[in-house]
């Protein structure tokens, strides 16, 4: 009998990269960001409180669960409400697992030694309360410092998205520096971690959708890294589906596109959220996969 387990639920620790690629093939390249900004909560008629965030997440789950490749909660907007907000995040991650939708927890953790190991246990250990299918991590203490997270992610069928080339202006002084650039060196490290991954490795990269031709200019071999690219910046930050097609030419079917406000501002009704996400997903698919 074929395995009917949802794509978001690990089976015998199946590798994350192929699971995400399969989810993208089924649902398209859209990843819905869950960023409960005060402004969004207000637009939904909700209070800026733990209760408001919980109702917000319930609305997103009702509208999007099982309909998109992945959902990306931004941990900071839960943490600002203290332990109650973190409890809402914990429940959201569990609910996403229950409906078979992959979770990418945006936490940008990065540290050394036992501290990095503790972060890995918090978010990547099987059965951990805050376990996600993947997390974002920063390599700027050295990519090697991420080893505890890499090891645990691969052991448990989970993944990482390593910050490689971000679009904020402050990043250039670090990420663009050197020859080859620091960003190119990080991408080369990701390629080593993904060696042998088939059809794709478990360690993805974060590359901003607004960076234009910077990957080519800085010598970053995105395709050679053998990982899925998480490309934030579409919508509120100004990038378009057309920009994605140019920046990620040759890698189009390995680009996961997170969008938050561009979708969630259509809420709170599930029908409007679905219609907005479906239209955007169709546009992204047309530009990237045609």
Please give the full DSSP string across 124-181, using - where no structure is assigned.
HSTT-TT--SEEEE--TT-GGGGHHHHHHHHHTT-EEEEEEE--SGGGHHHHT-TTTT
- Cα dist from 98 to 5, 7, 94, 169, whole Å: 10, 11, 6, 39
Structure tokens at 281: 């997903």
Decide: 209 and 232 in contact? Cβ < 8 Å. yes
Measure the CA–CA gap between 43 and 107, rounded to whole angstroms: 25
Concerning whether 72 is annotated as a catalytic residue, the answer is no
- Of 72, 108, 154, 287, the catalytic one is 108
Q: Which residues contact 235 (CB under 8 A, 6 or more apart)?
A: 259, 260, 261, 262, 263
- β 203-207/229-230 pair status: parallel
Active site residues: 108
């Amino acid at each position: 009998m074929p395995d009917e387990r949802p794509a978001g639920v690990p089976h015998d620790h199946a590798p994350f990269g192929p699971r995400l690629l399969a989810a993208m093939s089924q649902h398209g390249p859209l990843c819905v960001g869950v960023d409960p900004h005060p402004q969004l909560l207000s637009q939904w008629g909700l209070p800026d409180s733990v209760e408001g965030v919980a109702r917000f997440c319930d609305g997103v789950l009702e509208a999007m669960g099982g309909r998109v490749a992945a959902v990306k909660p931004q941990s900071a907007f839960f943490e600002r409400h203290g332990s109650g907000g973190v409890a809402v995040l914990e429940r959201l991650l569990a609910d996403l697992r229950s409906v078979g939708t992959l979770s990418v927890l945006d936490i940008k953790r990065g540290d050394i030694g036992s501290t990095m190991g503790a972060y890995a246990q918090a978010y990547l250990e099987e059965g951990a309360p805050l376990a996600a299918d993947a997390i974002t991590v920063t390599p700027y203490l050295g990519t090697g410092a991420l080893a505890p997270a890499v090891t645990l992610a691969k052991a448990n069928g989970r993944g990482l998205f390593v910050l490689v080339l971000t679009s904020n202006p402050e990043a250039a002084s670090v990420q663009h520096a050197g020859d080859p650039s620091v960003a190119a060196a990080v991408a080369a490290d990701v390629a080593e971690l993904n060696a042998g991954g088939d059809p794709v490795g478990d360690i993805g990269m974060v590359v901003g959708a607004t960076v234009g031709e910077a990957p080519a200019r800085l010598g970053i071999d995105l395709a050679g890294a053998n990982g899925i690219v998480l490309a934030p910046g579409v919508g509120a930050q100004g990038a378009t589906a057309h920009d994605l097609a140019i920046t990620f030419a040759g890698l189009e079917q390995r680009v996961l596109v997170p969008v938050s406000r561009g979708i969630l501002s259509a809420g709170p009704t599930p029908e409007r959220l679905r219609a907005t996400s479906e239209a955007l997903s169709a546009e992204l698919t047309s530009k990237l996969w045609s």
